[in-house]
A and B are shown apart, each in its own frame.
Chain A
Amino acid sequence: MTEPAITPELIQKHGLTPDEYERIKGILGRAPNYTELGIFSVMWSEHCSYKNTRPLLKGFPTKSPKILVGAGEENAGIIDIGDGLAIAFKIESHNHPSAVEPFQGAATGVGGIIRDIFTMGARPVCALNSLRFGPIIGEKSEITNNRRLFAGVVSGIAHYGNCFGIPTIAGEVYFDKSYEGNPLVNAFCLGVLRHEQIARGAAKGIGNPVFYVGPATGRDGLAGAAFASQDLTEESAEQQRGAVQVGDPFMEKLVMEACLELLATDAVAGIQDMGAAGLTCSTCETAARAGTGIEIDLSKVPQRAPHMTPYEIMLSESQERMLIIVKKGREAEVQRIFDKWDLPWAEIGFVTDTGQMIVKNHGEVVVNIPAKKLADDAPIYQRDAREPAYLKAVRAFRLDGIADSQSPMADLKRLLAWPSIASKNWVYRQYDHMVRDCSVVCPGSDAAVIRIKEDSLPETGNLKSGISNFKSEKYIALAVDCNATYVYLDPYEGGKAAVAEVARNLACSGALPLGSTDNLNFGNPHNPELFWQLKESVRGLADGCRAFNAPVTGGNVSLYNQNPNGPIDPTPTVAMVGIIEKAEHITTQWFKDEGDALILLGEIADTKDPLLGLGGSAYLQVIHGQKTGSPPRCDLEPAAILHTTLLGLIQSGLVKSAHDCSDGGLAVALAESCISQQIARETPRLIGAQIDLSAMKDLRLDALFFGETQSRVVVSARPLDAVKVIERAKLVGVPAVRLGTVGGDTLAIKTSAGEFSAPVGELHDAWWNAIARAMN
């Protein structure tokens, strides 16, 4: 078969610039052939190389004494959680594939991140996701399409996670016009392991055999990484429909069990999944990490379709495949285990000392590239950044033309029924969030909590010597957040606010942050205004992660999230993981008992803010149809003090519930605390609250109810403990005020302008059923 000649058009079609092509020639000392060109194009795509963002990512805090494997070292970061145990976690996007084929796009996104985790030697124990879609209420064809994408993505995640057997235990979903045609699907996975079980993606040991494990390679997912690194257009989507991989969770479950069983034999020198850029990425990266070379023969790679070319085999992104470097002489153990699980395997090559990635086809060399240069020497670009023009109007916005709320309870109901705020039970009810027997706090509270028990860990097999005994169960809290409206209106403040919110969610659950992982979803980096959004929000994220001692252990960058109608709102999603010291510290958001005292930690409103916390608020968007105004300021120092104070109060046993104020402000936080406990199907536990805010005079009602002033938490406590809570908070400078009392069957709020109330049953119905009503 003759390969296409390398022409400028072909180079451009591969997303490579003339300069990049010259750089490739420099590395090779000759012109690349067609297969090599394909290999460089995927390895140097943004998805694999971070060529546009690497300088920015350097600003993230990435060190702490607890970090065992840091950002960028391996497929996922690993953090020590004490007693010889560790967690591995990461978030990754599958945005472009989900836009084209929502079910498979989302499903394979879940599959990919699970592989990243068990590749590290960890047993995956829970999954999270962060999703964005266009609006779902209405009958226009765009909206029908948004609903189709939303339903497809949710069922794809459910299909893969449920069948694989991993609890999908937390997440967030927002709906906004900017995601119309550009849905975001960010999937997170966390796994657990002992320190001694950390596996590395390095091709160590000259002469060690290289094994291919998993289903045969097909033409699916050809060059998906490159597809994800360009704007999404009708044309690109249609052309690339074949770039969407097809997932098989059953196969992945078998591959995972077999890999963990194999790792426990100590026969493995290195292991890496074939994710983005498939066989290409896994071979060159493992060699680059170990400083070795690797040689494989494609004729030995199991192939699903006849007559596949070297180009196709190397660039295929067929799912559920692993590359394993086996210690020489231990091949039989690999064969025994993979035969037991009825999994295809093949010995396809060996580790060399040449530093070259050599690919043969029936003995003939078809690729010969220095592995380290391919993996690590992608060009780095300092893109131009310019403050977007729209921000001028945003900053000039004032409340003068905005009429104050006339009926705050009616507005509250509209906010509760707004899909971005409404209960996501329609989503998480479709996810198995209880499999594995570890789900302590299920979806529906500020953060999810799982327990880690002895059998959560991978088997130790032959590794037994030197491994310490399991001591006691551990409790891990997880949450994922990003208010992208804030980021759009002020990327730096919005970036900080995203981290602060996720950290606040952890604090509310009784957890101390351990680390974070972020997914930077942005538009085209060649647009200076969009690049400025990226740069500024990364700065905000970095400052936030520093303030809360939650270093970044890895993540993902997804650029080019735009279509001809425009870019998405900048969406730097942050997932944070924390540890809860004792079971009795685990705290949920809903009110517990009649008569309990209600206290607000934080200020009723930031009176220094000319918009009183209403800039970028859900209230302005829902009630006034305006998405503008500078978002509330997020001061990190007081936020950090609030979180440690809250955690101290929880650990002292003084807090019965804690819920953070975010979208929709104080009124929504109070309402959610009244209505969010679900005992069973069709059986919510509703409890009212009687609130007195009449001391707050001269404040607009809408700001009082719906202002989104940062760093605020609603807590409930035994009546006798209320004074103690308030005093202890004030002692460290955290504002604290008694709001009222839990009880009754209404949420009643007394203000200087009158008393407003609504039955909790009505609030619950608006909030709980809004998404189901839109979807059915």
Chain B
Amino acid sequence: MNFAVLQFPASNRDQDAVHIMRFLGHSANYVWHKHTSLGNADAVIVPGGFSYGDYLRCGAIARFSPVMQAVKQFADNGGLILGICNGFQVLTEAGLLPGALIRNRDLQFHCEHIFLKTATFDTPFTSRIPAGKPLRVPIAHGEGCYFADEETLARLQANRQILWQYCDAAGELTEAANPNGSLLNIAGVCNERRNVAGLMPHPENASEAILGSTDGRVIFESLIHSLQTRPAVSAA
């Protein structure tokens, strides 16, 4: 499979995303933000970083990049898109995912491992995740507090669009396990059509034994499995 990893000025986990896809035996290429085409991508990863320095609001400028038009088209065509951290912020700013990410509850940047409970398994991003197993992956963000109005939250729940929630080692959704004050402990969501997903944690930094956790790998394996079992979508 061929993954397009978007590269905005000051993306900084773009290399990490490319690395993990190649490590898993697939092809991955950078797509520069000024480009208007995604090439022959089978799926798109919007990586972590501080796109454009995040001077206005995280992801607020990135959404106007030429490449984002191609991404929107790809999403409309049903292509699979995963946003990680800043990539999640970019996708919410671009209107491809519901909700918003605001400053962490304690106003501090948090880099630490957390546990993730997978809430929905019937998506291309979660299908291979073993049920009942909290995933141990790191977070690294200052603005990861998931926020949405009540109506949106109700819709997310009704449509089972909440994919991941912060939990403790036993899988309980406790207040202490929530690192940033996210509503409903939400760490990641997908769109209604289930082809676009975003999450604040970094599964790409928890996919090799040498880094102390391989729990993140199942998210990429789910994505790869979905691509292998569904018809191809034009990246245009």
- Which of A's residues lie within 8 Å of B, judged by CB? 155, 158, 162-165, 248-251, 253-254, 341-342, 428-437, 439-440, 451, 453, 455, 473, 583, 678-683
> Is the Cβ of A164 less than 8 Å from the Cβ of B110?
no
Task: Please give the distance in Å from B167's CB to the nearest CB on chain A.
Answer: 10
Q: How many A-B contacts if CB must be within 8 Å?
A: 114
> Is the Cβ of A679 less than 8 Å from the Cβ of B169?
yes
The distance in angstroms between the C-alpha atoms of A432 and B201, with both chains bound, is: 12
Residue numbers in A under 8 Å from B211 (CB-CB): 437, 439-440
Residue numbers in B under 8 Å from A163 (CB-CB): 10, 12, 50, 53-54
Residue numbers in A under 8 Å from B110 (CB-CB): 429-430
Q: A342-B9, A436-B15, A437-B20 are in contact. List 15 more A-B contacts (CB 8 A).
A: A165-B10, A249-B10, A250-B50, A429-B108, A429-B109, A429-B110, A431-B109, A432-B140, A434-B138, A434-B205, A435-B48, A437-B204, A437-B205, A455-B15, A680-B112
Residue numbers in B under 8 Å from A433 (CB-CB): 111
26 CB-based A-B contacts, threshold 8 Å: A158-B109, A163-B12, A163-B54, A165-B10, A165-B12, A249-B53, A250-B54, A254-B9, A429-B108, A429-B111, A431-B109, A434-B140, A435-B13, A436-B15, A437-B19, A437-B20, A437-B204, A437-B211, A455-B19, A679-B113, A680-B136, A680-B169, A681-B177, A681-B179, A682-B168, A683-B168
Residue B16 is within 8 A (CB to CB) of chain A in the complex: yes
Pick the contact of B53 from A248, A473, A583 — CB < 8 Å? A248
List B residues 153-188 near A (Cβ within 8 Å).
168-169, 176-177, 179
Pick the contact of B108 from A430, A678, A680 — CB < 8 Å? A430
The distance in angstroms between the C-alpha atoms of A682 and B112, with both chains bound, is: 10
Pick the contact of A680 from B12, B111, B114, B142 — CB < 8 Å? B114
- Which of B's residues lie within 8 Å of A, judged by CB? 9-10, 12-13, 15-16, 18-20, 48-50, 52-55, 108-115, 136, 138, 140, 142, 168-169, 176-177, 179, 202, 204-205, 210-212
Name which residue of chain A comes closest to B169, CB basis.
A683
> Is the Cβ of B53 less than 8 Å from the Cβ of A437?
no
Task: Please give the distance in Å from B191's CB to the nearest CB on chain A.
Answer: 27
The distance in angstroms between the C-alpha atoms of A158 and B142, with both chains bound, is: 10
Name which residue of chain A comes closest to B209, CB basis.
A583
Pick the contact of A430 from B53, B111, B138 — CB < 8 Å? B111
Residue numbers in A under 8 Å from B53 (CB-CB): 163, 248-251
Question: DSSP majority for the A interface?
Answer: mixed
The distance in angstroms between the C-alpha atoms of A434 and B136, with both chains bound, is: 14
Residue numbers in B under 8 Å from A155 (CB-CB): 108
> Is the Cβ of A455 less than 8 Å from the Cβ of B18?
yes
The distance in angstroms between the C-alpha atoms of A250 and B50, with both chains bound, is: 8
> Is the Cβ of A680 less than 8 Å from the Cβ of B140?
no
The distance in angstroms between the C-alpha atoms of A453 and B204, with both chains bound, is: 15
Residue numbers in A under 8 Å from B20 (CB-CB): 437
Name which residue of chain B comes closest to A441, CB basis.
B212
The distance in angstroms between the C-alpha atoms of A213 and B18, with both chains bound, is: 29
Name which residue of chain B comes closest to A433, CB basis.
B111
The distance in angstroms between the C-alpha atoms of A437 and B210, with both chains bound, is: 10
| Contact A250:B9 (CB < 8 A) given known A434-B111, A455-B18, A682-B177 | yes
The distance in angstroms between the C-alpha atoms of A39 and B16, with both chains bound, is: 44
> Is the Cβ of B9 less than 8 Å from the Cβ of A341?
yes
The distance in angstroms between the C-alpha atoms of A342 and B210, with both chains bound, is: 37
> Is the Cβ of B12 less than 8 Å from the Cβ of A435?
yes
Pick the contact of B16 from A254, A341, A428, A436 — CB < 8 Å? A436
Task: Please give the distance in Å from B46's CB to the nearest CB on chain A.
Answer: 15
The distance in angstroms between the C-alpha atoms of A429 and B109, with both chains bound, is: 7
Residue numbers in B under 8 Å from A430 (CB-CB): 108-111
Residue numbers in A under 8 Å from B55 (CB-CB): 250
Name which residue of chain B comes closest to A158, CB basis.
B109
The distance in angstroms between the C-alpha atoms of A433 and B205, with both chains bound, is: 11
Residue numbers in B under 8 Å from A678 (CB-CB): 112-113
Task: Please give the distance in Å from A140's CB to the nearest CB on chain B.
Answer: 25
Residue numbers in B under 8 Å from A682 (CB-CB): 168, 176-177
| Contact A165:B49 (CB < 8 A) given known A435-B16, A682-B168 | yes
In the A-B complex, the 10 residue pairs with the smallest Cβ-Cβ separation, listed nearest first, are A165-B12, A250-B53, A680-B113, A437-B16, A432-B140, A163-B50, A253-B10, A434-B205, A430-B109, A432-B111
The distance in angstroms between the C-alpha atoms of A163 and B48, with both chains bound, is: 10
Name which residue of chain B comes closest to A168, CB basis.
B111
The distance in angstroms between the C-alpha atoms of A249 and B142, with both chains bound, is: 15
> Is the Cβ of B140 less than 8 Å from the Cβ of A435?
yes
Kindly name the residue among B49, B111, B176, B211 whose own CB sees the greatest number of chain A CB atoms within 10 A: B111
Name which residue of chain B comes closest to A439, CB basis.
B211
Residue numbers in A under 8 Å from B210 (CB-CB): 440, 451, 473, 583
Kindly name the residue among B16, B55, B110, B204 whose own CB sees the greatest number of chain A CB atoms within 10 A: B16
Task: Please give the distance in Å from A122's CB to the nearest CB on chain B.
Answer: 15
> Is the Cβ of B12 less than 8 Å from the Cβ of A164?
yes
| Contact A162:B142 (CB < 8 A) given known A250-B9, A683-B169 | yes
Name which residue of chain B comes closest to A440, CB basis.
B210
Name which residue of chain A comes closest to B106, CB basis.
A776
> Is the Cβ of B18 less than 8 Å from the Cβ of A165?
no
Task: Please give the distance in Å from B51's CB to the nearest CB on chain A.
Answer: 9
Name which residue of chain A comes closest to B107, CB basis.
A155
> Is the Cβ of A453 less than 8 Å from the Cβ of B19?
yes
The distance in angstroms between the C-alpha atoms of A473 and B19, with both chains bound, is: 13
Name which residue of chain B comes closest to A248, CB basis.
B53
The distance in angstroms between the C-alpha atoms of A429 and B104, with both chains bound, is: 13
Residue numbers in B under 8 Å from A437 (CB-CB): 13, 15-16, 19-20, 204-205, 211
> Is the Cβ of A162 less than 8 Å from the Cβ of B140?
yes
The distance in angstroms between the C-alpha atoms of A253 and B9, with both chains bound, is: 8
The distance in angstroms between the C-alpha atoms of A56 and B101, with both chains bound, is: 54
> Is the Cβ of A254 less than 8 Å from the Cβ of B10?
yes
The distance in angstroms between the C-alpha atoms of A440 and B213, with both chains bound, is: 10
The distance in angstroms between the C-alpha atoms of A158 and B141, with both chains bound, is: 11
Residue numbers in A under 8 Å from B136 (CB-CB): 679-680
The distance in angstroms between the C-alpha atoms of A254 and B114, with both chains bound, is: 31
Residue numbers in A under 8 Å from B54 (CB-CB): 163, 250
Task: Please give the distance in Å from A111's CB to the nearest CB on chain B.
Answer: 13
Task: Please give the distance in Å from B153's CB to the nearest CB on chain A.
Answer: 23
The distance in angstroms between the C-alpha atoms of A594 and B15, with both chains bound, is: 40
The distance in angstroms between the C-alpha atoms of A431 and B141, with both chains bound, is: 9
